[in-house]
Amino acid sequence: MTIDEAINLNKPIIIKAYSVSESIEHYIKLVLAKILQKHNCEVLLIPLYTAVKELVVNAVKANQKFIYFEGKKSYESVFFDSEKALQLFRLEMTRSDAKYLDTLARKSNMYALTSITVIDKKLCIDVENPTPMNETERDAVAKKLKIAQQCEDITDYFLQAEEDDYKEGAGLGLVLITMMLKGMGLTQSNFIIDSDYEKTIASIIVPLTKATLQEYQKRISETTPKIA
Ligand SMILES: Nc1ncnc2c1ncn2[C@@H]1O[C@H](COP(=O)(O)OP(=O)(O)O)[C@@H](O)[C@H]1O
Ligand SMILES: [Mg+2]
- How many whole angstroms from 179 Cα to the centroid of ligand 2? 14
What class does CATH assign to 3-222?
Answer: alpha beta
For residue 98, the SS3 value is: helix
The verdict on the CB of residue 112 being under 6 Å from ligand 1 is: no
Nearest to residue 188, comparing CAs of 205, 163, 211?
Answer: 205
Measured over the CA atoms of residue 206, residue 207, residue 210 and residue 215, the dihedral's sign is: negative
Region 70-98: mean pLDDT is 64
Residue pLDDT, tens place only, 88-109:
666 666 656 667 778 889 999 9
Cα(78)–Cα(65) distance, rounded to whole angstroms?
20
Which DSSP helix (H) or strand (E) runs through 208? none
Our measurement of the distance from residue 39's CA atom to the centroid of its chain's CA atoms, rounded to an integer in Å, reads: 23
- Cβ–ligand 1 contact at 48 (below 6 Å): no
* 20, 90, 138, 141: residue to mutate for ligand 1 pocket, most atoms within 8 A of CB: 141
Top pLDDT among 84 and 168 is at 84
Q: Using CA atoms, how far apart are residues 51 and 45, in angstroms rounded to an integer?
A: 10
User: Which SS3 state, helix, strand or coil, does residue 214 take?
Assistant: helix
Q: Whose CA is nearest to atom 2 of ligand 1?
A: 59
pTM summary value: 0.89
Distance from C-alpha of 127 to C-alpha of 145, rounded to nearest angstrom = 17
Q: Which pLDDT score, from 0 to 100, does residue 172 have?
A: 87
DSSP 60-81: HHHHHHHHHHHHHHHHSGGG--
- CB 34, CB 3: distance < 8 Å: yes
Sheet strand arrangement including 13-17: 13-17, 112-119, 122-129, 200-207, 191-195
Can you give the pLDDT at residue 168?
47
Task: Give me the residue spans of the domains in the chain.
Answer: 3-222
2-25 pLDDT, tens digit each: 999 999 999 999 999 999 989 999
Where is pLDDT greater, at 50 or 79? 50
Best CA proximity match to 145, nearest among 177, 184, 186, 185 = 177
Dihedral-angle region of residue 123 (phi above 0 means left; psi in -120 to 50 means alpha; beta otherwise): beta
Q: What is the rounded distance in angstroms from the CA atom of residue 71 to the CA atom of residue 48?
A: 35
Determine if ligand 1 sits within 6 Å of the CB of residue 173: yes
What is the spatial distance between Cα 205 and Cα 12, in angstroms, rounded to a whole number? 14
User: Any idea what the Cα angle at residue 93 is, between residues 174 and 68, rounded to 5°?
Assistant: 95
Give the pLDDT score at 43. 96
Count Cβ neighbours within 10 Å for each residue of 139-155 and write b for 16 or more, e otherwise.
Answer: ebbeebbebbeebeeee
Ligand 1 near 185 CB (within 6 A):
no
pLDDT by residue (tens digit) across 107-124? 999 999 999 999 999 999
pLDDT tens sequence across 34-63: 999 999 999 999 999 999 999 999 999 999
List, for residues 155-176, the tens digit of each pLDDT value: 888 888 876 555 544 578 999 9
